[in-house]
Amino acid sequence: LFNKTFFDKANGFKRPLLEKRVIPKSIVSFGKDNSKFQKIGANHVSKCDFPIILNSGDSIILDFGDHNVGYCNIALNFVGQITDSPLKLRFTFGEFPYEIITSPESYNGTLGNGWLQYEDRAMAFLPAVCRLDRRYSFRYLKIDRLDTAKYTVKIDDLFCDCCSAVEMSSCVEMNIPDALLEKIDHIAVKTLKECEQDVFEDGPKRDRRLWIGDLRLQALTDMVTFKNIDLIKRCLYLFAACTMENDVVAPCVFPDSPPYVDNWGFIDYSLFFVSCLYDYVQYSKDMDILKELYLIAQKQVEYVSRNIFGSKETIKNGGFFIDWCPDLDKEVAGIGVYLYVLEQFAQLTEHLSRDAKWIYSEKERIKEILFSFYSENEGLFITASGQVSWHSQIWAILSGTVDYEDSIQLLQNIKAFKNAKTIHTPYMMHFYIEALFMLNLQDEAIEVIKEYWGKMCDAGFDCFPEVFNPEDDIESPYGAAQINSACHAWSCTPAYWIRRYYSKNL
């Protein structure tokens, strides 16, 4: 279902992107280094001075010194002998070295190989100036000369026009009296900046689109950093504009390509439309947008109440995302998400002075279902299949229906439990931090941030990634780590938590 009024409103909040020209800093080589992330080290070869000479078979790796999102421009010419046959170059962009050194031919991941960031270009005549029209997300650029001709060519100039909706200097300043947290905050803010484009993209390398689970965390963080409020509104209206036939909000929107949405869903993501609206109304006190979008929020709750929480069987097959943890049984966590959203929806309803009684009785009904999964023996929530996970406990706590002492006990019990399913993404880690803050364990939450995101800093990330498992640095939800995104918005929330922590304590 396409709502043109909301779509036009969304487009009314479209703003031109800011552009910045960046040049490569140095030429590097990659080599095996067991002490480095994914066991690859980048070694400095020389400064990047033009011209750079290229003969047939040559290969160079340019290091831009930081993560960038943009369009590459290159000027080429021949040296001495005229180019009597076309020059062929392969451009391979990488956010991290592993992406550059794995050959595209060896790729057998579950996502389409079109995401691999490389392209071949032929130039029939030199001199030539060319701009690659695909936008890339990268720190490194490898250029291979593929043709077999004997003539020599040179790169006279190469630069990238980088784009973002915001610039680092417009981020709200914050005094963070801890060096590691300051570094984490900086990288988190940079991650968010790289993902703020025409919409809040989940990742500028992939999927380059507006996902609602990602949007929620981006918007929360943006409200305390860049305050790019027009972009938040643009994205809220885009989701409102694109619902499925059953009125469910799509999990992601392709803003520039009709029909804008794919034909499937994640129930937790659709419910998070309510959370996005709730957060925004909390921040802005904007009652007009609440009145306008309330019905969409209500439809999410109604659909889920009827179709998912009708019976235990439908909950089990509900189609929740929750986390990329392999073989995760999501039913208990899914119930927790629903209860969490119901509370926010009740508050929105009361803001409008409407009757929220039915929402509270729905909460009571769902709370009973949740508690039917509680096992006295283990002192934990356990799924019908017998699975114990961090996710179930965290979402049970966030549901707001477990009292304080019992929540603390749940955390102690899950820490002590061997072989529980663990958190695999910075996205799910955000909700763990939220649970700790909710229980007034802010200091512990900050320690978790230092531990988990601190390890990402140690691993040398310029931005924070989509998945990070300190025990397995080539883990990938798609069976191929080169397709992972190393700048992923849902990992930017330390900037939100750190800022909240210090503004409260100051």
Amino acid at site 255:
P
* Integer angstrom CA distances of residue 324 from 195, 203, 221, 385: 20, 16, 22, 19
Nearest distance, CB of residue 9 and ligand RAM, angstroms: 24
Query: Cβ 501 to ligand RAM, closest distance in Å?
Result: 25
Q: Which of residues 274-333 bind ligand RAM (CB under 6 A)?
A: 321
User: Measuring CA to CA, how many Å separate 39 from each of 35, 36, 67, 171, 474?
Assistant: 6, 5, 20, 34, 10
- The closest alpha carbon to 88, from 56, 111, 118, belongs to 56
Packed helices 287-307 and 267-284: angle between N→C axes, nearest 10 degrees: 160
Which residue(s) pair with 2 in the sheet? 242
Strands (E), 33-151: 40-47, 52-54, 59-79, 87-94, 118-123, 128-131, 136-145
Crossing angle (nearest 10°) for helices 426-438 and 442-458? 160
- Other C-beta atoms closer than 10 Å to the C-beta of 452 total 20
Q: Please identify, among the stretches 161-169, 206-214, 326-334, 434-442, the one whose residues bind ligand RAM according to the rule CB under 6 A.
A: 206-214
Select from 185, 207, 434, 462 the one that contacts ligand RAM (CB under 6 A): 207
Half-sphere exposure of 42 (CA within 13 A, CB side): 26
Q: Which is nearer to ligand RAM, 9 or 330 (CB)?
A: 330
Binding mask 472-501 for ligand RAM (x = CB under 6 A): ------------------x-----------
Using the rule CB under 6 A, give the single segment among 27-35, 169-177, 205-213, 229-237 that binds ligand RAM: 205-213
Minimum distance between the CB of residue 499 and ligand RAM, rounded to whole angstroms? 23
466 touching ligand RAM, by CB under 6 A: yes
The site that binds ligand RAM (CB under 6 A) totals a number of residues, namely: 8
Binding piece for ligand RAM, criterion CB under 6 A, among 74-82, 209-217, 310-318, 403-411: 209-217
Q: Which of residues 413-452 bind ligand RAM (CB under 6 A)?
A: none
Structure tokens at 131: 């701009």
Q: Between residue 210 and residue 229, which ones bind ligand RAM under the rule CB under 6 A?
A: 211, 213-214
Nearer to ligand RAM by Cβ, of 309 and 324: the residue is 324
| Nearest CB to ligand RAM, comparing residues 145 and 216 | 216
The residues of the shown chain that bind ligand RAM, judged by CB under 6 A, are 202, 207, 211, 213-214, 321, 466, 490
